[in-house]
Amino acid sequence: MKKINSIYIVDDDPITVFGIRKMLDSIAVCENISAHGNGKLALDDIKKSLNSDGQVPEIIFLDINMPIMDGWQFLEEFISLPLEKRVRINIVTSSIDPFDVNNWNLYKSRTDHIITFNNKPIKRNHLIEITKAA
Amino acid sequence: MENRSTLVRNYNFMLRGSQTLSSNYLIKQLPKATVFLNKRLQVVHASDSWVDYFHFSNDIVLGQNISELFGEISKDWKTVMNNCLKGKPSNVGVERFMDHENKEKWFEWSNIPWYDENENIIGIIIQTDDITTRLQNEIKLEKLEVLLREKSEIAKIGSWEYDILKDEISWSDMTKAIHEVPMNYVPTIEKGIDFYKQGYSRNTISMAVNKAMENGTSWNEKLQIITAKGNEKWVIAAGKPIFKDERLIGLIGTLQDVNDQVLSQTKTKENEHLLKTLIDHLPLNVFIKDKESRKVLVNKAECDYLGVKGPEEVLGKTDYDFYDEETANTTREDDLHVMNSMTPILGEERGSIKKNGDAITFLTSKIPLIGDDGIAYGLVGISMDISNLKQKEEELRDLINVTSLQNKKLVNFAHIVSHNLRSHTANFSMLLDFLIHEKDEEEKQNIIGMLIDASDNLLETLENLNEVVAISTNTDLEKKPINLNEKLKTVQQNLAAFLLNNNAKIVNSISDDVFVKVVPAYIESILMNFITNGVKYKDPERDPTITLSASSNNGYTIVSIADNGMGIDLKKYGDKLFGMYKTFHDKKDSRGIGLYITKNQIEAMNGKVMACSEVGKGTTFNIYFNEKD
C-alpha cells in the first residue's frame, strides 16, 4: 500500500480518535497521524503549515458534531483554501439525519476534493478502502 | 242680411232720387263702411267710415280702381263683382288684407248692383264689416277644443254632465271609452253608478252623488269600476253641482283612468316591502351611505351590530360617531375610493375598533350608487362580522403552530437521541472488536478503561435526555406567581462559592414587587443556568458582572440577564445557540446541554427566549415569561 504523508483526525470524542488511530496504525500506512479536537484547531494547523512547509494532510477523518467549529463549518472554510493537491475527506459520523446527507452532497458538488460519508462504527476493511490518497 | 238689403235699397232709392252733391255728402256720412264703384270698378263714392277703416286717403280713393286700392283682391270677389255687374244677386264673402301697420285684418263684404233711374246697372255698392276679432275668437275656441280633446285623450280624462230637470246624463267620448261601452251608448245616472265595483267603491260614489244633490258638495275619490267588458279599473271620479239662480240644476264631473298608475304604484309598494323585508332580515349588515359617508339607510342587523335600538339613532351619522378615529379614517378612504373610481370593493377583510374598544374583523363589500349623470351619489355597503371566525381561525393557526413546532422538536429530538445513542454504541462496538483481537495485556486494560468511559458517557447522555423528555412531556405543570427577587436570592446563595471563586458581581435592578407566573422548579434552574453561563464564559480580561432587570410588555414579563463575558458570534452560531450538545467555547466543562434544557423549560411555560451578543463585549438573554397562560 502506498504510504500517506499525513493524516488528520478531526473529532472531539477521544474514543473515536483512539479507534481510528489504532486501525490506521495496524495497517501501517502513515507515520504522521494527528488528532484535532474541533474544526477550528484543525483548520488553524492546516493554515499554519500552508504558510511554512506547504505540508497539508492527504486524508482527513472528519466528525460533524463538534464544539466551536463543526464539520460543516470546517468544510466551508477548507474548500476555499488555495490547495494544489486534491485531498480526501472522510466524514465519520453517527448521524443518520437526512440534513447531514444533503449537506454532504452539496459540498461534494462544490469542490474537487474527494468527500465520503461514513457512519460509525468504521470497520477495519472499510477504513482501508477509504485510506487512499486522492 | 235682411236689414242690410233694405238699407242698400234705401240708398239706391235716395241716389236715384237726387243725384246731386248733397247725395254725395249723404254717402260720406253713412255709418257703415260703404263704397260705390262704377262699371270699371273705380271708386265713385266712399263713406268716411270706409276710408277710415282701410286707412285710405280721401284724395286718392276717388277714381281709383278697387284692385289697385287693395293691391290685390281674391278671385272669388272679382267673380262676384263681375256677376254683380251682370245683375246677378249679390254674395257675401270674407277677404283678408294687411292694414297700414302690416297687421292681418279680416273683413266681410257684401255686394249689390247699383241701378240708375232706368234700372240700368251702373256699378256696384259694397259694404264691408270688420270681422277680425270675431274670426280670431273662433280660431281660439277651435284651438281650445282641440287642446281639451288632446288633453283628455292623453290624461285619459273623460267628462260628464247631468241635467237634474231632464234627468239626463251625457258622457264624453273618453268617459265612454273608459267604461268600454260603444259610442252610441246611452247612460243614466243609475247605470253610471252601477259601473262602480260593489262595496266600497259603489257605496262611496252613491253617497257622494246624494250628498252633492242634497248639500251641494263636490267630491273627488279614487275608486274602482268594472267596465262593460268586465275589466277592473282604478279611476279618479270627481264631480260638483251646478247652480243657476241658487237653484241646483245639475252635476258635472270628470272621470280619470288611473289604472296603470295605481297598479304600478301598488307594484312599487309591494317591491319596496319585499326589499325592506329582505334587507331587514338578512343576517348581514346592510347600509347605504351618501357622498359624505353619512348613513342614509341601515338594516336591523346593522343596528344590532352598532348596539342601537333603531335606525333613527344611526341615520345621518358617520363612522366617526361609532368607531375610533383610525378605523373611521380607513372606512372613509374606502368609501371615497369606491365613489371616485366607481369600482366596488368586494369581500375584503377589514379590522375595526368600536368606541368601546371592541376589536372586530369583518368582510366588507361596497358598491357605488351611480346617478343618471354618471357620478356616484353614494354607496351600498354589506358587511359581515367574522370576528368569531377570525378568532377560531387564529386559535386554529396557533394550534397548528404549536403542533408543528412540537413536531419539529420531536423530530429534532429523535435525531439527537439517535445520534447520541448511536455514537456511544458505535464506540462500544468498535472497542469490543479491538478487545477481542487484542493480544497485548496492557492495551487490553486500556481498551477496557475506554469501555467504562463509554458506558459512563452513555449513562450521562441518557440522564440528559430523560431530563429533556420530562420537560417536554410534563405539559400540565402548575404555574404559580413567584417573587422574582426571592428566587434570585436562593440561586445566589446556592452559587455563592462559585461566584466568589470567579470574583463575580451581580447587579440587580429588579424591584421587589415583580412576580412571574412560572413552574417553581423551572425558574430556579433557568436563573441558575443563565447566571452560571454568564460567569463561566467570562472575558479573561475582566471580572464577570451579571446585570439583571425586568420589564413588562404585551402580557409578558421580560427578564433580562446581561453579562460582560466573551460574547458569541450569533451570525455564525445563532441557530445553534440553544441546540443540544452545541458548545461554542473551548471550555472543559461546557456540556452543551444547559441552554437546551433551559429553552425547553421556558417554552414549556409558553414563554420564549432571545439572545443578543457581541464578541468581546458580552451577551444578553431576554426571557419572556407568559403571564396569561
Q: What are the extents of the domains in chain B?
A: 2-136, 155-263, 284-390, 407-471, 480-626
Q: Decide if A71 is inside a domain.
A: yes
- Residues in B closer than 8 angstroms to A97, CB to CB, are 415, 419
* Separation of alpha carbons B12 and B32, rounded Å: 15
Residues making up chain B, counted from first to last: 629
Q: Mean pLDDT score of chain B, rounded to an integer?
A: 85
The answer to whether residue A129 is domain-embedded is no
Per mean pLDDT, which range of A112-121, B26-35, B611-620 is the poorest? B26-35
Query: Do the Cβ atoms of B584 and A13 come within 8 Å?
Result: no
CATH architecture of B155-263: 2-Layer Sandwich (3.30)
- Name which of B348, B313, B353 is nearest B334 in CA terms: B348
Residue B324 has pLDDT above 80, yes or no: yes
Select from B430, B452, B577, B585 the residue whose CB has the most chain A CBs within 10 Å, as the one to mutate to test that interface: B430
CB of A18 closer than 8 Å to CB of A69: no
**What pLDDT, on the 0 to 100 scale, is given for residue B19?**
46
Q: How confident is the model at residue B1 (pLDDT cuts 50, 70, 90)?
A: very low
The answer to whether the complex's ipTM is over 0.90 is: no
A80 within domain boundaries = yes
Model confidence at B70, pLDDT cuts 50, 70, 90, reads: confident
- B413 interfaces chain A, CB cutoff of 8 Å: no
Dihedral of CA atoms B293, B298, B303, B305 in degrees, nearest 10, equals -70
Q: Does B610 touch chain A (CB under 8 A)?
A: no
Contact status, residue B429 vs residue B451, Cβ threshold 8 Å: no
pLDDT at B123: 87
B412 reaches A (C-beta below 8 A): no
Collapsing DSSP to helix, strand or coil, A126 comes out as: helix
Predicted pLDDT of residue A17: 93
Phi, psi of B601, rounded to the nearest 5 degrees: -65, -45
CATH number of B480-626: 3.30.565.10
CATH no. for residue A96? 3.40.50.2300
Our count of domains for chain A comes to: 1
Residue A15 lies in a domain: yes
B284-390, CATH topology level: Beta-Lactamase (3.30.450)
B475 has a pLDDT exceeding 70: no
Q: Are strands B345-353 and B232-244 parallel, antiparallel or unpaired?
A: unpaired
| Mean pLDDT confidence for B179-186 | 93
Mean pLDDT value of segment A12-34: 88
- For B332-376, what is each residue's pLDDT tens digit? 999 999 999 999 999 898 888 887 878 888 899 999 999 888 899
Closest residue in A to B572 (Cα–Cα): A73
What domain range is A51 assigned to? 7-121
pLDDT of residue B580: 62
Q: Is pLDDT of A81 > 80?
A: yes
What letter does residue A85 receive in the DSSP assignment? S
**CA B562 to mean position of chain CA atoms:** 60
Whether residue B32 lies within 8 A of chain A, CB to CB, comes out as no
Question: A122 at the B interface (CB within 8 A)?
Answer: yes
At residue A75, the pLDDT reads: 93
User: Alpha carbon of B361 to those of A7, B247, B352: distances in Å?
Assistant: 67, 79, 6
A21 touches B at CB < 8 Å:
no
Average pLDDT in the B55-81 region? 79
Write out pLDDT tens, residues B252-298.
Answer: 999 999 988 888 888 999 998 998 888 888 888 999 999 999 999 99
Q: Is the pLDDT of residue A131 over 80?
A: yes
Whole-number Å distance between alpha carbons of B45 and B61: 9
Q: How far is A86 from chain B (nearest CA, A)?
A: 28
| B36-55 pLDDT, tens digit each | 888 888 888 888 888 888 87
CA B624 – CA B557 distance, rounded (Å)? 6
Give the residue on A whose Cα is nearest the Cα of B423: A94
B440-463 mean pLDDT: 89
Do the domains at B2-136 and B155-263 have one common CATH topology?
Answer: yes
* pLDDT per residue as tens digits for the range B519-577: 888 888 899 889 988 888 888 889 999 999 999 988 899 999 999 988 888 887 766 67
**Residue A54 pLDDT > 80:** no
CATH superfamily to which B2-136 belongs = PAS domain (3.30.450.20)
pLDDT of residue B586: 55
